[in-house]
A = this chain, B = another copy of it.
């Protein structure tokens, strides 16, 4: 059965307390209508433009951060040069292909972490990230 993408995206923004502007709607559609995605600001900007959406890079950055604060996205730190945003906000981990910068999800229940030390005094664990770094196999 077909979903109603426009309404769905609109409601997603409303639920997040964000005004459904033309730009935000376009981004929400790009981000969430194609399953789990990992994007950088530049990638998303290029996609939006290719898609016919006039939007500035500044607005992309603003929106990615607003979406992240609202819990619609989460950031993945794997590369000191770029910020990746992940449409999957459930507990999970990542493969990161260092040669081409591509990220893939590893389901959260796939990996078991045992022996995790307690958080040091005065702190609490925000989250635990596992990154499996890949290289192209040698010849």
Q: Give the segment of A31-39, A48-56, A124-132 that binds chain B.
A: A124-132
The yes or no answer to A15 lying at the interface (CB within 8 A) is: no
Question: Contacts A120-B95, A127-B133 given: A114-B115 contact, CB under 8 Å?
Answer: no
Residues of chain B lying within 8 A (CB to CB) of residue A83: 80
Q: Are A128 and B137 in contact (CB under 8 A)?
A: no
On chain A, the number of residues with a Cβ less than 8 Å from chain B's Cβ atoms is: 39
Residues of chain B lying within 8 A (CB to CB) of residue A114: 111-114
- Bound CA–CA A84/B48 (angstroms): 34
Question: Contacts A104-B120, A115-B111, A117-B106 given: A134-B129 contact, CB under 8 Å?
Answer: no
Question: Contacts A79-B77, A110-B117, A111-B116 given: A130-B129 contact, CB under 8 Å?
Answer: yes
Q: Are A115 and B112 in contact (CB under 8 A)?
A: yes
The yes or no answer to A43 lying at the interface (CB within 8 A) is: no
Within 8 A of B (CB), among A57-100: 75, 77-80, 82-83, 95, 97-98
- 16 interchain pairs (CB within 8 A)? A75-B80, A111-B113, A113-B113, A113-B114, A113-B130, A119-B137, A122-B137, A123-B134, A123-B136, A123-B137, A124-B135, A125-B132, A126-B133, A128-B130, A129-B129, A131-B131
